[in-house]
């Protein structure tokens, strides 16, 4: 499948696409900003697009391990002022939320994609997306909630079980009336998985291509990479510029490996570095055999 159909755009996935992360939160695990204002968040949107992002993902609630839920009112107050401006930037806009009320408000403002870490399992979420004529949707694998997910990491075969879950959700979403061309899936790196399991997921990622829908991956600044890069012992908010650059380098490497193994969308914080890496990758194709 080479096109992802969304509200206003048909996104050509013949080449990998870069989704820029816009966290409209004070407590994101990697780039939370207690002093964030809508103007600063909108400036981030504009900067990521200038750096080469193909689409933007806006979220108003942290999904870091152990994160507390925020109220509907708080999430709406964070997201909607930014979204009103973002939908005028001429690119696909995704709303990163598991709350049907936030999804509805975002779609009413013209958002193109619902990116749900809960895979449309919250009451009313599936019906809302199915009732929309054209929005795209990303369904992700996660056990439990961000608060509880790291206490449930017992798998017999992590890749097979993730694939089975995503296959079931694709079938449910299609049965509700959502065209297959509107669906992508995310295996949920770091969401209810250990570092070893995350790396096995990357190693065996091609097995998920059998699902028959595009694959979106989010390796950027994950704790597994922080451990590999030697910066995990420093809390994210206290990392030096050099430590952050090191983690971003690891993030680009993991995301590029994901692309090589079939991912069509990579969700990243450092858009400029990812775009540059993909340019090199595209310029040096696999040798003929």
Instruction: Please give the sequence-ordered ranges of beta strands (E in DSSP) within the chain, or none if there are none.
Output: 3-5, 10-12, 17-23, 55-59, 93-96, 113-116, 136-140, 183-186, 216-217, 265-268
Catalytic residue among 182, 193, 221, 267: 267
Distance, in Å, from the CA atom of 227 to the CA atom of 219, rounded to the nearest integer, reads: 13
Q: Give the fold, CATH level 3, of 3-283.
A: TIM Barrel (3.20.20)
pTM of this structure = 0.93
Q: Encode the chain (289 residues) as per-residue pLDDT tens digits.
A: 589 999 999 999 999 999 999 999 875 445 545 567 889 999 999 999 999 999 999 999 877 666 667 899 999 999 999 999 999 999 999 999 999 999 999 999 999 999 999 999 999 999 999 999 999 999 999 986 565 556 567 899 999 999 999 999 999 999 999 999 999 999 999 998 999 999 999 999 999 999 999 999 999 999 999 999 999 999 988 999 999 999 999 999 999 999 999 999 999 999 999 999 999 999 987 777 6
Query: Is 193 known to be catalytic?
Result: no
Query: Is 222 known to be catalytic?
Result: yes
Give the start-to-end residue ranges of the domains of the chain: 3-283
Catalytic residue among 182, 222, 244, 264: 222
Distance, in Å, from the CA atom of 284 to the CA atom of 289, rounded to the nearest integer, reads: 15
CB 139 within 8 A of CB 120: yes
């Amino acid at each position: 499948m080479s096109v992802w159909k969304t509200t206003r755009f048909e996104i050509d996935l013949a080449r990998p696409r870069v989704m820029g992360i816009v966290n409209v939160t004070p407590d994101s695990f990697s780039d939370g900003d207690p002093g964030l204002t809508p103007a600063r968040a909108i400036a981030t949107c504009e900067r990521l697009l200038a750096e080469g992002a193909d689409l933007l993902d806006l979220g108003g609630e942290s999904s870091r391990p152990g994160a507390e839920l925020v109220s509907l009112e708080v999430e709406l107050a964070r997201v909607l002022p930014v979204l009103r401006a973002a939908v005028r930037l001429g690119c696909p806009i995704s709303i990163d939320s598991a709350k049907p009320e936030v999804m509805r408000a975002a779609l009413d403002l013209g958002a193109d994609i619902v990116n749900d870490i809960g895979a449309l399992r919250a009451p009313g979420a599936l019906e809302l997306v199915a009732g929309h004529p054209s929005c795209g949707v990303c369904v992700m694998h996660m056990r439990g909630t961000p608060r509880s997910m790291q206490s449930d990491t017992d798998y017999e075969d992590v890749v097979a079980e993730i694939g089975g879950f995503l296959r079931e959700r694709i079938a449910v979403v299609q049965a509700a009336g959502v065209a297959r061309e509107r669906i992508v899936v995310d295996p949920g790196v770091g969401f209810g998985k250990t570092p070893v399991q995350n790396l096995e997921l990357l190693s065996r990622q091609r097995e998920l291509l059998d699902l028959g829908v595009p694959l979106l991956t989010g390796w950027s600044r994950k704790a597994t990479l922080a451990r590999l890069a030697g910066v995990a012992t420093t809390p994210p908010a206290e990392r030096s510029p050099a430590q952050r650059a090191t983690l971003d380098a690891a993030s680009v490497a993991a995301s590029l490996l994901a692309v090589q193994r079939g991912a069509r969308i990579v969700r990243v914080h450092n858009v400029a570095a990812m775009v540059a890496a993909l340019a090199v990758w595209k310029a040096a194709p696999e040798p003929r055999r």
